[in-house]
Amino acid sequence: MPLSVRAVAACLLLVAVVASAGPVRKVQIGYCARLNEIDAAKAAGFDYVELRTSEIAALSAEDFEKLVAKLKRIELPAPVTYLFIPGSIKLTGPKIDKQQQMEYVTRAFDRVSRLGARVITFGSGAARQIPDGFSKQEAFNQLVEFCKRIAPEARAKKLTIAIEPQRRQECNVINSVAEALELVAAVNDSAIQLMVDFYHLSEEKEDAAVIIKARKHIRHLHIANPVGRVVPLNRDGYDYAPFFENLRKIGYEGRINVETGAPGVSSEAPQSIAFLRAAFSQ
């Protein structure tokens, strides 16, 4: 039986609506890896790998070219890097060396951008740790100045620096998402944004509702089960619900990385990947 003109028009309208909506997007699941864990991360089924900025910057020219070739050969993207500034380069205190900072940053930016990175997470607790007796306000100002100084370099390489709040046991400055937002606001540059690590958020007992406040600035996420800082496997392992509920509220469609306290890609990685995918779709 032939379709009526009205039915045909309705079908065409439906097709147009679906087409205009574009492809369904999903959050990508990655793994924070050492260079010697790349193959294991690929085999585990992660969408991408998040490599250590400082490890990449320390490679010889020959070894770096091998890394570029390897990631291309195994078709594993590296859109994000972490461990930005090594502890040997101080960002706060009376003995900072701006020339040393910039020489390292320039080298790091050149290399990670060649790998295809677009985001660098900025935790670097040892580098930003405030020395005993040094003014916390002055240290904060130093971090603001550092971020303002590297922002143009980041933009030139199409990179975003995502400030990572860290628990007090690892760093004595920028311990909460709220404090990280203060730093982002003080720098006031599109290249300096925010990442949220569920482990640190939980350790600092910060309300997950802060995600709503930070929604415009969140560019990346890390996660681990805070009980032992291990791979998150299921909803019964910890109370993840408020975290994912708020991420769904803001329509987060970026990336999330599994980052645990011990090296080595867990055999439980496929279960973790499935859990995280489900958490964003509920």
pLDDT at 13 over 60: no
Q: Give the residue with greater pLDDT, 133 vs 22.
A: 133
Count the neighbouring beta carbons within 10 Å of the beta carbon of residue 156.
Answer: 11
At residue 282, the pLDDT reads 76
Nearest to 222 by CA among 178, 172, 276: 276
- Bridge partners of 273? none
At residue 57, the pLDDT reads 98
Q: How many residues does the chain have?
A: 282
Q: Identify the CATH number of the domain defined by range 24-281.
A: 3.20.20.150
Would you report the helix, strand and coil content of the chain in percent, each value rounded to 5?
A: 45, 15, 40
> 255 is written with which tokens?
């990336």
> Helix crossing, 269-281 with 241-249: angle to 10°?
50
Nearest to 104 by CA among 33, 171, 53, 62: 53
> Which residue ranges make up each domain of the chain?
24-281
Q: How confident is the model at residue 11 (pLDDT cuts 50, 70, 90)?
A: very low
> Contact at 8 Å (CB) between 159 and 109?
yes
3-state class (DSSP) for residue 238? coil
Residue position matching structure tokens 């509702």: 209
Question: CA dist 163 to 17, 101, 184, 276, Å?
Answer: 38, 17, 8, 23
Span 184-230, pLDDT tens digits: 999 999 999 999 999 999 999 999 999 999 999 999 999 999 999 99
Span 234-282, pLDDT tens digits: 999 999 999 999 999 999 999 999 999 888 898 999 999 999 999 998 7
What integer best gives the mean pLDDT of the chain?
Answer: 92
Span 37-71, pLDDT tens digits: 999 999 999 999 999 999 999 999 999 999 999 99
At residue 268, the pLDDT reads 93
Span 92-128, pLDDT tens digits: 999 999 999 999 999 999 999 999 999 999 999 999 9
pLDDT at 5 over 50: no
At residue 261, the pLDDT reads 86
- Burial state string for 220-243 with b = 16 or more CB within 10 A and e = fewer than 16: bbbbbbbeeebbbbeeebbebeeb
Helix (H) or strand (E) holding 48: strand 48-52
At residue 266, the pLDDT reads 86
At residue 117, the pLDDT reads 98
Count the neighbouring beta carbons within 10 Å of the beta carbon of residue 60.
Answer: 8
pLDDT at 172 over 90: yes
How many angstroms separate the CA atoms of 113 and 111, rounded?
5
Span 78-91, pLDDT tens digits: 999 999 999 999 99
Span 234-243, pLDDT tens digits: 999 999 999 9
**Residues 6+ positions from 180 with CB-CB distance below 8 Å:** 163, 164, 165, 174, 194, 214
- Pairing type for strands 80-82 and 160-163 reads unpaired
> Helix crossing, 177-187 with 136-156: angle to 10°?
60
- Bridge partners of 52? 82
Residue position matching structure tokens 């779709």: 281
Q: How far does Cα 14 stand from its chain's mean position? A: 37
